[in-house]
Amino acid sequence: MVEAQVAELAQVKVESVSKLPVRVFGSIVSNTVLNDGEANWLENPNIALRAPLGIEQPGSFTSTMRQSRIGLSVDGVKVGSWTASGLVAVDFLGGTPGFATGQVMGLPRLLYGVVRIASASTTLSVGQDDAIFAPRNPTSVAAASFPALFRSGNLYMRVPQVKASRRFGAAEGGHLNLAVGIAAPIAGDRETPFYEFAPLADGGERSRRPAFEGRAAFVAGNGESRRFELGASGHLSRERSGVDTIDSTGAAIDTDLQFGRLGFGAEVFMGENLDAFGGAVSQEAKTRGGFVEGRLDLNDRLQVVGGYGLDQIDTAERLRYAIEKNVTAFGAISYKFSPELVGGLEYRHLTTTRRTSGDRQVHHFNWVLAYSF
């Protein structure tokens, strides 16, 4: 009987050198898309571009698996009264090689690589993880590599960091979550079109100090069907170019509400030089914006989502930058064939306002099928 149990366990787990079970997880994501305008990223666009010279009819159609991802996680390591865990995950959105059919040769890209040590109410983590600042993202099956409304009111970045978080109050009732951390000073000013084995020191690294982030959130509810969260977060970092030193500052308020089959989420922000997060449409300017979304679960399998996002540069600075405003409206319907298999159709309308050439628009249709394991 023991031999039979060992054989059964050997079929359902991966064993590491330390003899701890390792869990393999990931998703296979297929995006088939149609763009009627010039989109910057075909499968997950966030900026509407001007068509290149010589192209009389802008637009594109393609199918890709680049947003698929795979990862490994391990937990159960005891460190006194604490429990350690870790995970690493990659997708295939790291670019394409300069080959005739390079479109189907997506290169790996590090998403997460983090170690956490947790007690009942406190967690310490080290590694590349989602930023503490402005963590809320819209609901989208089609946008797996970068979240929906990135550069249209949704600030987002993954960054190496050291973070401490603590919960005050019972997990099942109303409680307060606090998180603070220091992060690598990524300035968002990398412009080289070539791959580099050893990245150079850019403006953030030359500041010679880390970024600082924090968030406080009140959470209440009794589970996924009835939940309320309201959070406030901030970011402060510095970048140096030559003799000039520029501060990057930001403040954001986010909320999420789920009441039965109805859901609502929103985030608003303001700041300066938040280009690393996609703020000011990735330009070094004063900016403000945000997004809002509504969710309706028609039944346990069928969900409808709609939302709107806006990012605009401060009026006094618009003459200095190429893009003044970026707006995206989206709607999506998804169906769970099983807990692991989800399919859906998403539509986005992107409007990018340029100072010299006016509005550029893209109607984006994305049919997605995602299988999680």
pLDDT at 363 over 70: yes
Helix-, strand-, coil-residue percentages of the chain, each rounded to 5: 10, 55, 35
State residue 365's pLDDT score.
98
State residue 333's pLDDT score.
98
Structure tokens at 137: 């993202």
State residue 40's pLDDT score.
94
Least confident stretch, 128-137, 217-226, 280-289: 217-226
**How many residues are present in the chain?**
373
To the nearest whole percent, how much of the chain has pLDDT over 90? 75
233-237: long-range pairs with CB below 8 Å, 24+: 233/132, 233/133, 233/134, 233/135, 234/133, 235/131, 235/133, 235/134, 235/211, 235/271, 235/274, 235/277, 236/211, 236/212, 237/183, 237/185, 237/187, 237/204, 237/207, 237/210, 237/211, 237/212
Structure tokens at 289: 């914006």
Q: Say how many C-beta atoms besides its own lie within 10 A of residue 135's C-beta.
A: 18
User: Model confidence over 46-101: pLDDT tens digits?
Assistant: 999 988 888 888 899 999 999 999 999 998 788 888 999 999 999 999 998 889 99
For range 111-125, the mean pLDDT: 95
Domains of the chain: 20-372 (2.40.160.10)
State residue 259's pLDDT score.
94
Pairwise CA distance, residues 290 & 294, whole Å: 14
Q: What is the largest CA-CA distance in the chain?
A: 77
For range 244-256, the mean pLDDT: 95
Give 351's pLDDT tier (boundaries 50, 70, 90).
Answer: very high
3-state secondary structure of 72: strand
To the nearest whole percent, how much of the chain has pLDDT over 70? 96
- Cα–Cα distance list, 51 to 36, 40, 54, 56, 59 (Å): 11, 10, 8, 8, 8
pLDDT at 357 over 90: no
pLDDT at 11 over 60: no
State residue 194's pLDDT score.
75
> Is 309 within 8 Å of 149 (Cβ atoms)?
yes
User: Model confidence over 151-170: pLDDT tens digits?
Assistant: 999 999 999 999 999 999 98
pLDDT at 343 over 90: yes
Alpha helices in the chain (DSSP H): 2-12
State residue 62's pLDDT score.
97
For range 363-367, the mean pLDDT: 98
Structure tokens at 260: 């039965």
State residue 1's pLDDT score.
58
Give 350's pLDDT tier (boundaries 50, 70, 90).
Answer: very high
Give 9's pLDDT tier (boundaries 50, 70, 90).
Answer: low
> Is 210 within 8 Å of 183 (Cβ atoms)?
yes
Average pLDDT along the chain:
92
User: Model confidence over 309-342: pLDDT tens digits?
Assistant: 999 999 878 778 899 999 999 999 999 999 999 9
> What is the value of pTM for the model shown?
0.90
State residue 7's pLDDT score.
59
- Cα–Cα distance list, 88 to 2, 24, 74, 109, 160 (Å): 33, 10, 9, 11, 13
pLDDT at 12 over 80: no
For range 27-37, the mean pLDDT: 97
User: Model confidence over 169-210: pLDDT tens digits?
Assistant: 988 879 999 999 999 999 988 877 777 888 889 999 999 999
